[in-house]
Chains A and B, each alone.
Chain A
């Protein structure tokens, strides 16, 4: 009798929680649904957008793939290229530096760690002016690193590589017992051997997480790319989507919606597939940028 009531109460609790969940899920995905419907609505202004379009069609997508003014595929490719290269290089830089911060002792170590943290919280908006000047000057000496080049943009992104995840990465190095390296050192291993042969394999899961976070962060950036890149063909996707919002924003609503979905999709899939691993990384202190 009493176990029956308990079971009933439990079922009741589940039903209530599912009802609440349905409401929350509606809140969570409503904007996505709405954009999906706008992207399928051939009359492509914000004013005519309805949740269920009168006549569903792929005109907006066709427009994006065919329009020379909004070369979506080029933008998507630029984004993937810039983000991948930045990610690989910045994870390498971060990992090497984090090893030194975790395993080696030197004067100024604490100061540098704190300094890196403070550099990170500096509001960089006005520093953009200096960065723009710098890249302009780089470009007149080495044109391949100048304005409107992906290499120049990546170079500036890498300036932040030491900052973003060094604390996180160092924290993970710290969790690996030092006894491992000490015994290797007794056997005559160099730091490089300890790093590359012993610790790096142990770090692989967190390297993947930090890599994903770095990729997503670069993929989502638009201010720096907007300042440093000038020609439409060089834009990454976020800058491309951003220019939809200038001018007759509400008139280009349909193509924007289609582009937004295409741009969001790769990241959404990565997140949903790897959510458990990412949670592990996040709880260690990375904040989505």
Chain B
């Protein structure tokens, strides 16, 4: 700490602040109001069953009280609102992502263990020797079914899906009974004849009756009472199938039998580093993964290289105040930067359309060729680099023209006197000096492009697909768009756990690059010295 910082530490200024009575009162009133809100909010969260949210709110509330009441925390009062929102909507989601990376969370593992046991236990089966009925089917105009059931004891019941069996004596709307004791009609429903029964595909799959007395058709004549299929044994923590006698134990959130059969509803469980090892070791992943990582780095590097080169080139060539119309040129060349990238990426997508895009129609009429931009992997990558060049060069053009003007003119004069030619002056003076100033921005741009999901997704959705890949992956997929397939792509099983694990890996890569950058720039030093 510098002497000057010792003279005016936050604490003493805090003392100065709290000196006025009004200030203290205001602060307490504010705190009371805030606390009231937090308490109400946390209690509501608990009441709604959002335990995690309630805990987070309670922790934030405690921190807010600490910051407002404790003098040393004065500096944090300046950022209180920002901090609360950041914890809530930036840090907390990140922590959850990290947590999920160590679980199997995803389709098939969305439930808690208790929920999964409950769900599995709802399943029923038709036992061989269960209470048996002979049945007659009825159908109404809406296509709903009803059954007339008769058991061996001669009792009759009316059954609808979803409600308990109704004894014949209590049933309403029953028409005349025939010789076998079967109603000719039921109000609103019509009796099905043998042919209709034989051809009806729906009726065997319907469960009649309620949860407790469910009845299902077993054959053309017989219906039987359903029984609960699985039994949970707490002592052994296993589910036993009453029909087959097989027992299932939970392995990493999946109910698994000794022969390796599994039940469809697993539960959320921590799987340790399973997602990470699966990511790196499984041969099914390894194929596309290596390609994706290679392309990810190549894409980020090429993007930075091409945009920086063009931007610098333009800035260098037009860094001449005597050139008439220089401002007009600059304004025109800036245009790509001024349009929201979502819009321009979609425009380029239309322009690169294989059949009807303006690029191919122009090439076709001029040269008679129509490259398959979205089908050929190499061409697709080329198209992406071209689009990103268009999107990105104006940024470096702006940066470099600023930085070029900061390079002292005398350096060039001296070099000219020493006989250096234009190339030498550029590569020995301009470029090294420029890189010092622009270096951190190059790294930032690399990090940005490394995760440039919008471009890859909006332009081509990662396509064209890699053939024979075990997971959905495309030739232009970068890691972050590959992750998207695991978590959000429609029509396939969601694997949030694995997706989160890959997210962590991406984060580690960009975090290392970012920290590395700051080692070599002034920013850290400045923080370190505490200027």
Taking beta carbons and an 8 Å cutoff, which residues of A are in contact with B? 10, 14, 17-18, 20-21, 24-25, 27-29, 31-32, 34-35, 46-47, 49, 51, 93-94, 96-97, 99-100, 104-106, 109-110, 113-114, 116-119, 121-131, 134, 137, 140-142, 155-156, 158-163, 167, 174, 178, 182, 185, 190-192, 216, 219-220, 222-223, 238, 241-242, 244-245, 250, 253, 256-257, 260, 263-264, 267-268, 270-272, 275, 278-280, 282-283, 285, 287-289
Contacts and interface: CB of A to CB of B under 8 A. Distances in A.
B167 interface: no
A113 B1 CA distance: 17
A202 to B, nearest CB: 17
Contacts of B350: 46, 49, 250, 253
Given A35-B347, A93-B82, A126-B100, 19 more contacts: A29-B335, A31-B336, A31-B344, A100-B75, A106-B75, A122-B507, A125-B483, A126-B97, A127-B97, A156-B89, A159-B88, A174-B526, A222-B342, A245-B458, A250-B356, A275-B330, A283-B399, A285-B444, A287-B441
7 contacts: A18-B325, A109-B527, A126-B483, A126-B500, A128-B93, A162-B83, A256-B346
Interface stretch (B45-53, B265-273, B285-293): B45-53
B358 interface: yes
Given A159-B85, A287-B445, A267 B358 contact: no
A250 B94 CA distance: 37
A121 B451 CA distance: 9
A156 B92 CA distance: 12
A225 B196 CA distance: 52
Nearest to B402: A283
Contacts of A121: 447, 507, 510-511, 514
Given A32-B335, A159-B89, A140 B441 contact: no
Contacts of A17: 317-318, 320, 323
Nearest to A142: B41
B232 interface: no
B49 to A, nearest CB: 9
Contacts, number: 277
Interface in B292-351: 314, 317-318, 320, 322-325, 329-344, 346-351
Contacts of A279: 398-399, 401-402
A46 B353 contact: yes
B48 A137 contact: yes
A31 B346 CA distance: 10
A46 B356 contact: yes
Contacts of A141: 41, 44-45, 48
B417 interface: no
Given A32-B339, A123-B506, A127-B97, A287 B448 contact: yes
B50 A137 contact: yes
Contacts of B526: 174
B357 interface: yes
A14 B317 CA distance: 10
A51 B343 CA distance: 19
Contacts of A242: 342, 346
Residue picked from A21, A93, A219, most chain B C-beta under 10 Å = A21
